[in-house]
A and B are shown apart, each in its own frame.
Chain A
Amino acid sequence: MTSAAVPQGRRPKSFDQGRLIVYGVLLLASLFFLIPLWVMLMTAFKSMAEIREGQILYWPQHFTVDAWFKAWSSACTGLTCDGVRVGFWNSVRILIPSVILSIALGGLTGYAMTFYRVPGANFLFAILLIGAFIPYQVFIYPMVRVFSMIGIYDSLTGIVVVHIIFGLSLMTLLFRNYFSALPIELFNAARVDGAGFFTILRHVILPMSAPIIIVATILQVTGIWNDFILGLTFAGRANRPMTVLLNNIVNSTQGEAAYDVDMAATILTALLPLAVYFASGRWFVRGVAAGAVKG
């Protein structure tokens, strides 16, 4: 670890052309990544009169927070004007059960697949893994039919079940990889002592699983919050998540678009995943890498 952190370029002199290029490139790149966010923020703090003059890059001449209140509580989609607030609470109601249940099921499945030899488990794992790469469009239509047959289409239950179903691949992969790296001796010792399936899970495996549960939570919270297509298809009008509502507000405007309100609503929708990202720091990186890099 320590040897890897050793500087790898040339040792910097007091003034060095190479250094200047390095920092120049990094600053230019930062500009590219930050400008859209900057423009969104500036637009959200301007009045429409000022926005019509152009100058999207500049600081507001008349700083106003009206757009934020409008976006939150009175922006319109079609005839209803309740803002993104409704979508926010819908997303929260979808998020909490979906995150908890998908992690619980993924953890349980990963545990059973790692430490036990159930016939067919490898086949299950293979299909789960392949499923993670297949676009939802391949499954979505039959699922809609089945869900409406059993009466959970267009409902909170329906969308939560869908998130559990499509979260299972990544969650199982994550936990299986993590558990495979744990020392098997601990598990064997507990089993020799006569501990059963759930006892070992609760008293041996779970206490060692905090890191992977944190990673899984970060992945699922951002993933489910950012979902659009599943919420659009399965949640129904009454449970539309924030992303769906946001898109409706911005893209179904009649007449002149209220760009200030649109941008405020957009930032509000991005706030939760951004907060998770900034709060979790390197855990987030671990999470996005864990989904891809084998454990």
Chain B
Amino acid sequence: MEKTRRATGSRLRSLWRRQAPAAIALIPAAIIVLAIYLGAMLWTVRLSFSSSKMLPVFDFVGLQQYERLFATERFVLSTWHIALFGVLFIAGCLVIGFLLAVFIDQNVRFEDAFRTIFLYPYAMSFIVTGLAWQWFLNPTLGLQKAVRDLGFESFTFDWLVRPNLVMFTLVIAAIWQASGLVMAILLAGLRGIDAELWKATKIEGIPTWRVYVSIVLPMLTPMLVTASVLLATAVAKLYDLVVAMTKGGPGISSEVPAKFIMDNFFERANVGLGSAAATMLLVTVAALVGPWIYAEHLRPRKGRA
């Protein structure tokens, strides 16, 4: 184009005139990113090295808060709880979501109805989910009593009040809420598979289940990864469900890190300790999700500027 032959000065000026409105439009986003996403985050990390109790102070006490953190039973237990929850919740959602997607994909009638039923819990909040399951699993009046009244006198399902089993009730409720999401993501993947594959495997006489396990499942890897990342994010953020369903109890047997942090910030006046826990959470999430974000969104791709 002839424009390229213009003088550099006027080119720069016209470039500026073109980009200036865009630059101005990005100011709010820039402020949010710098002040909150980076600023608040670094502030939290900074506070984790201070002796802050009820109000933030900016002294430096080294790793004292971290030492205290890992000597705090409530926190150590929280991390075990969230690890257990995370593994069971993600595995459960993936397995159930995959099975639901495969079964729905068998050219069934009422496909839309089944899909609607499997996904509707995902539209509801964790608060609603937690309260619903808290009532449903109530040992005195809930499911346990209903089954006993049917004649199964010795039926016991009182996990909600059993310290060593309560985490499993949270897992069940969370799987109920979120496995429909995995189903929806994987179903989209299944629908994208070439029909030729099914013709070919039928001619070869390979059993359907074998095709799903050995051929389809590997093809769905990108969707499985995406679903896992979404679920893992929900694990790190797990707070509402616990607050609504168990309040961290009985005792401290369903405490989780996100709740530990909130309690220390706003109820226990332990800002330094809470910040140390928040920093640990940040580091864990960054280590788990960072590589995926890079590979999925930030790695320079071919054909893009």
Contacts and interface: CB of A to CB of B under 8 A. Distances in A.
Interface of A: 3-10, 12, 19, 22-23, 25-26, 29-30, 32-37, 39-40, 43, 51-52, 54-57, 105, 108-109, 111-113, 115-118, 120-121, 124, 126-146, 164-165, 168, 172-173, 191, 196-198, 222, 225-229, 233, 243, 246-247, 250-251, 259, 262-263, 266, 269-270, 273-274, 276-278, 281, 284-285, 288-289, 291-294
B28 A243 contact: no
Contact of A127 (B33, B114, B227, B282): B33
Interface in B13-45: 18-19, 21-23, 25-26, 28-30, 32-33, 35-41, 43-44
A108 B103 CA distance: 42
B287 to A, nearest CB: 12
Given A56-B146, A228-B240, A228-B243, A36 B22 contact: no
Given A118-B19, A269-B125, A55 B149 contact: yes
B282 A138 contact: yes
Contact of B289 (A112, A133, A247, A278): A133
B218 interface: no
A278 B116 contact: yes
Contacts of B297: 129, 173, 294
B298 A129 contact: yes
B90 to A, nearest CB: 14
Given A124-B29, A269-B125, A137 B135 contact: no
Given A55-B149, A141-B275, A292-B227, A22 B136 contact: no
A129 B184 contact: no
A143 B176 contact: no
B176 A273 contact: no
A144 B271 CA distance: 12
A126 B32 contact: no
B208 interface: yes
25 contacts: A4-B195, A7-B107, A8-B107, A26-B114, A37-B132, A39-B135, A124-B33, A127-B33, A133-B236, A134-B282, A135-B237, A135-B285, A142-B43, A145-B56, A168-B32, A197-B25, A228-B126, A246-B127, A247-B127, A251-B244, A262-B131, A269-B128, A273-B124, A285-B115, A288-B181
Question: Top 7 nearest A-B pairs by Cβ distance?
Answer: A197-B21, A226-B125, A116-B22, A7-B107, A277-B123, A142-B43, A54-B145
Contacts of B41: 134, 138-139
A285 B26 contact: no
Interface of B: 18-19, 21-23, 25-26, 28-30, 32-33, 35-41, 43-44, 47, 56, 96, 99-100, 103-108, 112, 114-128, 131-136, 141-143, 145-146, 149, 176, 180-181, 184-185, 188, 190-195, 198, 208, 223, 226-227, 229-230, 233, 236-237, 239-240, 243-244, 247, 258, 261-262, 265-266, 271, 274-275, 277-279, 281-282, 285-286, 289-290, 293, 296-298
A10 B100 CA distance: 18
Contact of B247 (A129, A196, A251): A251
A274 B36 contact: no
Given A54-B145, A116-B19, A250-B131, A274 B124 contact: yes
A277 B21 contact: no
Contact of B29 (A56, A128, A228): A128
A285 B236 CA distance: 23
B108 A26 contact: yes
Contact of B105 (A8, A142, A168): A8
A247 B39 CA distance: 32
A55 B128 contact: no
A229 B263 CA distance: 12
A294 B222 CA distance: 11
A247 to B, nearest CB: 5
Contacts of A37: 120, 132
Given A8-B106, A285-B184, A270 B124 contact: yes
Contacts of B271: 141
